[in-house]
Structure formats: structure tokens, C-alpha cells
Structure 1
Amino acid sequence: MGMLDDLKKMHDQMQNYMQEKELDKRISEGGPEYKMYDMSLKGFPCIYPNDLLESFRKKVTDTYNQRMEIFSEINKLERKKKNFLSCGCMSVGVFIVAAGISCIAKSFYAAPVIFFSLMMLLIILGFVFSSKIKELKNSLMEKEVFLDLNYAQEDYLQKFKDAQKSWIDVSKSDAVFLVGNRENIEDRVKERTSAEARINRTRIGNLLVDTTFVNSSLSPIVFKSSGDGYIQVFPGIIIAVFDNPNYEPNHIRVYLWNDLLVDLFSARFVENEYLPKDANVIDYTWKYANLDGSRDMRYNDNSRIPIVKYEEISVSTADCKTAFHISNESFALKFFEKMAALIS
């Protein structure tokens, strides 16, 4: 056991050494010349008149509420279907037991017949619910809204297409995180960390959102938000859909472009999980650190942790906001540049 322990210790030391070398290399590649950004975009031009916006807003809200009613009904039927099929499966088991007892006793009992009839009834009801659910899902295809983009000039629509394509390119980054709540670390001494805040993030592999609710001749730019929410951006129109697990009405907002705000700033992040291949490693800290960022010498297993520079892009309206950490700086800057072209 002593030799195995020594070999494991040597392996861990070699692995730590290789990680340290890779971290040094990444930090030197990032170099001291890295640039921190802090930019905002606002003042997107209004394309649609207010009366048209109000008409469109009413149509979108009414259609959304109708869809929520259908989703709510589907959800209820799904639960009933599950309950009936579960009872049907239980009836199968009881029927088999009752039939076996009848065979052993060599006499007829009414119980097997009753349970068989109940079993068939429950299974038939389950299929009836399945048919109704399919019918409701098909009816969702009719609950859509089409947005007329004829109010925008052709050259402006081309700029929007460029911005939409650049947002798709952002998903080619090695890592994109949906940024959630930020929680300040009140006792950094107790936590043994130099970080000032704890950020909840979710790594997402696909920035695209499958939304067929509002359509137009031009694909929108869609930004995911918490839960099943998203912000859908068309030329001149913004649709914000909030997470709505209970399918309640009116969890949607429609805005003009002058309500849109796009921010980009560089965020330093202590990355103790996945280290993206295309991220800039600008510094390091320690697993257990003093307030000034230096190593806490009381811990022997105190390894270095990279500090990564992410480009954080946030998109917000009056009462809806979503933000992303993007590992690839060039993709993030290109998207911001294409969005800026929609103002000029």
C-alpha cells in the first residue's frame, strides 16, 4: 500500500506541475496588455408608429394568453393521463394475482373480471387523453403572430441581418454562460477568497431559442433569460417573455427599440471549474487566499486558480434583463459592433 500511495502522490504532483505550466503559459499569452471594456448602446431608432405598436402589442398579448390557456390544459391532461395509466398498470398486477388465485382454487371469482374491466377502462381513458393532448398541441400552430417589417428600409434590414448572424457566431465560443444572481461575499476572511461576489452561472451550448410564436420575414435575435424566458428582438420591436412555469396570463411585454439597452464590459472571474480554450487568462489567485490575493500559507493543498477575462454582454429593457459571459473576446466585440451599426 505504501508503494501505491507514493505512486499516486507522484502522479498528483506531476499533474499539478503540468497544470501550473499550462496556467503560466496562458497567463503569458494573455499578457499585461489586455484591454478591459465598458461600453453601452442606447438610442436605437423608432421605426414603427405608436398606434401600430399598440395594435401589435394587443395582438401579441392576446395570442400569448390563448397559448397559455392551451398549455395549462395540456399540462392538466398530461397529469390525468399519467395517473390513469399508473392505475391501469396497478390493475394489471392485481388482475394477474386475482386470476392466479382463481386458478389455484379451481373456482371462479368475480374479482379478476372486475379488475380486468377496470384495467381496460383506465387504459382506454389514457388513450383518450393522449388524443386530446395531440389535438391541443396542433391547435398551438394556429396561435401565431406575423410581424410586418415593411416599415424598415432595406439597408437597415441588412444591418440587422449582420447583427443576427454575429450573435449566432457568438455561440461558437468555447464557453458561453447565462449569468444569474450575484451575491456579495460578506465575510471574505471566512470564505478564504479574494473574490468580492459569488455569481450563479449556467453554461449553455446553444444560444438559439426555438420560438415559433411571433414570426416575420426576418429571423429575430433571441436572447435566453432565466427559466424558459427570452428577449426576442426584431427590427424596431422587442418582445420580452418571462419564465412562466404555471402558464399564467400576461407574462409578456412588447417594447419599441428606444427601450433597448445593450452593454458590454469585461469581467474578471475566478474560474475554478471549466477553463475555456479561447478565454484570456489574465492572472491567478489561490484556492485559499488572503484578502490581498496572496496565498494562505496555512494550507498545503493550496493550488493556483486562473482569473479569466470574460466579455459580459447584457441586454435589457424597462423591466427585463439578461446577461452572458462570453469566452471569445473577438466574437463578443463583433456582435457589439454590429449592434452599434443599428444606431448610426
Structure 2
Amino acid sequence: MAAGSVLVLGSLVLHGRQSNTLLLDYELSADQSERFEALTRAFSEMARCGRIWNIPLEKREADWKRNAGASKLIERKQIHLATGNPPLVTTNMNFLKLPAGKETIYLTPDVILVTAGNAVAGFSYSDVEVTFRHTRFIEEEALPMDATVVDQTWRYVNRKGGPDRRFKNNRQLPMCLYGEIDLRSAGGLNERIQCSRVDVAEAFVSSIAAMSASMKG
């Protein structure tokens, strides 16, 4: 652990003063291995989606007519899922790495690690609420190749939902059905992931739910 860094695992807080790392050496039971392999398969399938985004915040939009009829604007950042381990952790496993703004989430066989700079926080799966939902999203960026288009709207709309003729080059925009995943905990984890495929996002959440249920049992 780098000098001056802080490691938080559950209720344990260690202030590092020497150059060393946290060693996590896993010996999994058959059930543990099966559950983590199922989570890894769901994660890998989601990683192959045409597009995945992290959504840090939502902003209310007063001028809905100039934003395709949307009452709020969503800031998104495209992310890429991968396997990897935190810089302060040495382990015999490949963790599942999910970038989320200034933080990075790592899914391990027994905890969810969240890193930010030189700090690492650990959450039990059973302490993290992970939810899935469908969302209809007006797509103004390049359309993901695997997106499901469910409707169309206009860049500038009138009060009846049709095109506002006052604007030139008023192009049609696709309304896509995406999957959204929320990860929240009382300890401060609060992230939203949007995925261009609904089915794989839902399967991923189901795999995390299985991990959580095993911790409670």
C-alpha cells in the first residue's frame, strides 16, 4: 500500500505507511466457484454489448421542446468492461472491472471492491442493492448496432409531439429500449450503468442477486 493511502474493508480501516499490497488468496468451494463463474459469464456477455455507459447524474431540462421532448437531460460516459485487479491488491483471481467515473468497481468472489485513487472500499454483496429496469431513451449519438428501436421522435418537437416546423434540419431521432442497472449501498456506493441490450443487463443483475443470496444464507 502506498504511503498515506487508506484501505477500507467492511469496518476495517488501515492507513498504509509502507510500500506493500493487500494479498487475497482464494480457495473457493464448488458452490462459490459455480456462482462466480456464472457472474463472470453474465459480465462477459454484457461486455460484448454494442454500447455501455456510466450515468453520473440527471439534469432537469426546462426547455423540453428543444430537447426532443425530454424533461431531463442525462449525461453519459461510454465505458468498457474488462477483467483486472486493483493496483493495491494481489490475488490469484481475475476480478470483474467496471469503470464508474472517478471510481472503479471490482466484482470478486466474496465482496464488491470500489477504488478511488489510493483508497479501496469493500462491500458485501448482501449490502449492495442492485436493481434492473427497462428505459426508453432518445438516442442522439450513433445508434448501437444491437439497440432495439421502439419509436421515433424529433430533435425539436411541438406540444403535440410532432416536428416543430420553425427549426430547419429537424431530424428524427430513434427512441431505444435500453437496460439500466443501479448499484446502491448505505456505505456510499451509488452508480448507474446503461446497456444497449436489455436481456444481458437483466441477466447480469440476476447473477449478482444469486451472489447476494448466497451471502445471506
State TM-score, norm by structure 1.
0.53
Aligned residues: percent identity? 23
Aligned to 2:166, which of 290, 298, 302? 298
Asked if 1:317 corresponds to 2:202, the answer is: no
Aligned to 2:150: 282
Contact 1:194 1:293 in 2 (8 A): yes
- TM-superposed CA distance for 1:186, in Å, is 2.1
- TM-superposed CA distance for 1:203, in Å, is 1.5
- TM-superposed CA distance for 1:310, in Å, is 1.1
- TM-superposed CA distance for 1:260, in Å, is 1.2
Counterpart residue identity of residue 172, structure 1 = R
Q: How does 1:1-344 map onto structure 2 within 5 Å?
A: 54=11, 57-58=12-13, 61-63=14-16, 143-150=20-27, 153-189=29-65, 191=66, 193-209=68-84, 211-227=86-102, 229-242=103-116, 244=117, 251-318=119-186, 319-342=188-211, 343=213
Counterpart residue identity of residue 121, structure 2 = R
- Cα distance in 2 for residues equivalent to 1:255 and 1:186: 38
- Cα distance in 2 for residues equivalent to 1:313 and 1:291: 32
Aligned to 2:4: none
Larger strand proportion of the pair: 2
- Cα distance in 1 for residues equivalent to 2:113 and 2:210: 21
Counterpart residue identity of residue 54, structure 2 = L
User: What whole-Å deviation, never above 9, does each CA across 1:110-156 have from its counterpart, x for those lacking one?
Assistant: xxxxxxxxxxxxxxxxxxxxxxxxxxxxx6xxx22122445x63212
- TM-superposed CA distance for 1:185, in Å, is 0.6
- Cα distance in 1 for residues equivalent to 2:189 and 2:82: 18
Counterpart residue identity of residue 196, structure 2 = S
- Cα distance in 2 for residues equivalent to 1:197 and 1:232: 30
- Cα distance in 1 for residues equivalent to 2:26 and 2:96: 14
Unaligned runs of 5+ in 1: 1-51, 67-138
User: What whole-Å deviation, never above 9, does each CA across 1:274-329 have from its counterpart, x for those lacking one?
Assistant: 10110110111101112442211223422211011111122232202222211122
- Cα distance in 2 for residues equivalent to 1:293 and 1:207: 41
Contact 2:47 2:82 in 1 (8 A): yes
Larger helix proportion of the pair: 1
- TM-superposed CA distance for 1:210, in Å, is 5.1
Counterpart residue identity of residue 147, structure 1 = L
User: Higher mean Cα deviation, 297-306 or 171-180?
Assistant: 297-306
Structure whose alpha-carbon radius of gyration is higher = 1
Counterpart residue identity of residue 180, structure 1 = P
- TM-superposed CA distance for 1:209, in Å, is 4.8
Give the paired residue count.
204
- Cα distance in 2 for residues equivalent to 1:210 and 1:292: 51
- Cα distance in 1 for residues equivalent to 2:150 and 2:40: 30
